[in-house]
Structure 1
Amino acid sequence: MAEYSRFFGGPVEAIPEYVQPQFAEVLAKLFSNGVFKNVGNELEVTEHDPVALAVDVNTGEGWIEGFWYQNTASLVKSLAAADPVNPRIDRIILRLDTVTNFKISCEVLEGTPAAEPTPPELTQTAAIYEISLAQIYIAAEA
């Protein structure tokens, strides 16, 4: 059985080097994925413009798999036009990308129109990890 310990300080020549995944591994054990309560407006999603199909994502901070996210100003997220026949459910998500973009971003995850729609599935892999902030019901146009 191996023993591990991490994150020591001291004289520069004595400090071991750590890589970011080692920090994330430890931090992921200290904090649950989600939105920090009582910080900003808790990334609350509110209606921006129902005619233009847009929502606001308010200020706040979140945590995904050992990585921190902060939004310091309201974000406007546009939604795709409604389907002419069937409703759909979209999600507003935080997406952690540890392979291509190396960031957490707020995104719209568009649902599939259906007579009885369900929200789109979240991706939760080592490379991409998504958490849902809100689900938005988009009625059919007709």
Structure 2
Amino acid sequence: MTTVRVVVGAAVCARGRLLAARRSAPPALAGRWELPGGKVEDGESPEQALVRELREELGVETAAEERIPGEWVLRPGYVLQVWTARLVSGKPRPLEDHDELRWLLPGEEQQVDWLDQDRPAVAEAMRRLAARAATGIPGARL
């Protein structure tokens, strides 16, 4: 029986925008864009892993909110699950595995070359952001 490892991704949203992170490593992924995150370690929940990974990779404190439906195979034995996340403190900066960050408004997601596995979750996150913006509620979260 093979164990599937979960990799978590974060749809970090603030002021109606989604955070995109450009990979700097490994070489096969360098230059492509993703939702930041990483592997769930033994003894961690996916939400705990998300908060830890964003602290390590971006230097921010976050709160995991809700899971975006779906699960995407990254490679044999690894699947991606995505959660929405709220910034609690700090300003994201590329500390580990990334060399650039961008905040994208709904409709701007095609400006970057997303990793294929992130595309469905990005589309859903942007759909939710656009719906919130249409409500006209200031500060409406994803």
Q: Which band: TM-score by shorter chain? A: under 0.3
TM-score normalised by length of structure 1:
0.23
TM-score by length of 2: 0.23
As a proportion of its length, which structure holds more helix?
A: 2
